[in-house]
Amino acid sequence: MSPNKKDNMQYIGIDLGTSRSVVSASNGNRKWVESYVGWPKDFVAKKMLGKRVLFGSEALEHRLALNLSRPLQNGVLKEGTERDEAAVQELIGHLIELADVEPGKDICVAVGVPAEALKVNKIAIRNAISEYAKNLMVVSEPFSVAYGLGTLDNTMILDIGAGTVDFCIMHGTVPMEDDQRSILMAGDYVDEQLLKLLTEKHPEADFSLNMVRRFKEKHGFVGSSKRRVKVEAPVDGIFTEFDITEEMRRACESPMPAIVETVIDLIAGFDPEFQESVRKNIIIAGGGSQLSGLDTFLTEATKQFEPCKFTCIDDPLHAGADGALELAADMPEEFLEKL
């Protein structure tokens, strides 16, 4: 790319997540939104809301008046209806709008997506971005995290999102399919388990999936907890306090056996001379990395197999988008897809 073309290029990194989507731009803008898109159900809703489409927390707040869509499900872009495809385009367009690109600038976008979405939805992502950008690169979220952190050799990235848990071993090159795994027992699965446990124990209370997701995000932990987890939920319209410490622990720990098994299995298939280096350098990213006690829990859980060392990153919200931004800016033009 010539210097003049580079000067006229705005670089954008997007982390397109099941629960939250984040944009990071070369002009310094970093924004995020919950991955919800909603359209007013009728003319009354449209008049009340005064908007053609709503996003994120605003869409959730007014969800009873909206046709609400969550474009990613189980880490894969939903397809099959015009509304699903429109939701993806609207969400990506909103993220690029949040980046506040200078008028007249060309846009180069790198998008980090769950590994499963990378396999099956690359065309859908390209179609959604084509009207906004001139160049595109689509990568797996754990790779974009690794690139942003500079941990590119003998490292495993364990990205715990809402729809999937993605695993990726970095060994100094762009990771291949054999270097990556995905499982579906992720944040949404924990929410469903927590809702089930609370409904069974307290059938008199009204718990919703959105409520328990907020409980988890505020109080989620694995292992032992130094404090009790107490929340409020309505019983016959009256908010009542419940101690949900044990249910929270059980729900949050429910994916851990599958995560440990996948970590050990993926490392076992790696070059034996470098396995020990990878075991000592496993980085936990994604929203699930914020579960209290997670790095210690997984370090202890793997001792019975091969000792591993897990570390949680400092900024799980922006890490994927920041890494994608670096990829967009660094990538030679011949490796970018022209739109």
For position 45, which CATH number holds? 3.30.420.40
Give pLDDT, residue 7: 66
- Residue 133 and residue 47 share a domain: yes
CB within 8 Å of 169: residues ≥ 6 apart: 155, 156, 175, 179, 180, 266, 267, 270, 278
Residue 215 domain flag = yes
Residue 141 domain flag = yes
Give the pTM.
0.90
Range of the domain at 205: 187-253
Residue 38 domain flag = yes
- Residue 118 and residue 21 share a domain: yes
Give pLDDT, residue 88: 87
Question: Distance between CA 166 and CA 184 in Å, rounded?
Answer: 9
Residue 120 domain flag = yes
Q: Which of 234, 253, 272 is the last residue of a domain?
A: 253
Closest CA to 184 of 161, 203, 165: 165
Give pLDDT, residue 44: 96
- Residue 194 and residue 118 share a domain: no
Residue 163's φ and ψ, nearest 5 degrees, are -90, -35
Q: Which of 253, 287, 306 is the last residue of a domain?
A: 253
Residue 179 domain flag = no
Residue 147's φ and ψ, nearest 5 degrees, are -65, -40
Residue 170 domain flag = no
Residue 4 has a CB neighbour count (10 Å cut-off) of 8
- Residue 198 and residue 95 share a domain: no
Domain count, the chain: 2
Residue 166 domain flag = no
Supply 279's token pair: 């075991």
- Residue 241 and residue 192 share a domain: yes
Identity of residue 314: D
**What length does the chain have?**
339
With a cut of 50, which residues of the chain have pLDDT below it?
1-4
Q: 6 and 106 in contact (C-beta within 8 Å)? A: no
- Residue 241 and residue 134 share a domain: no
Q: Provide the CB-side half-sphere exposure for 90 (13 A, CA).
A: 22
Supply 277's token pair: 């280096």
Q: Which of 253, 268, 287 is the last residue of a domain?
A: 253
- Residue 202 and residue 138 share a domain: no
- Residue 125 and residue 17 share a domain: yes
Give pLDDT, residue 178: 87
- Residue 222 and residue 95 share a domain: no
- Residue 117 and residue 31 share a domain: yes
Partners of 243 in the β-ladder: 230
- Residue 112 and residue 54 share a domain: yes
- Residue 114 and residue 34 share a domain: yes
Give pLDDT, residue 205: 96
Residue 305 domain flag = no
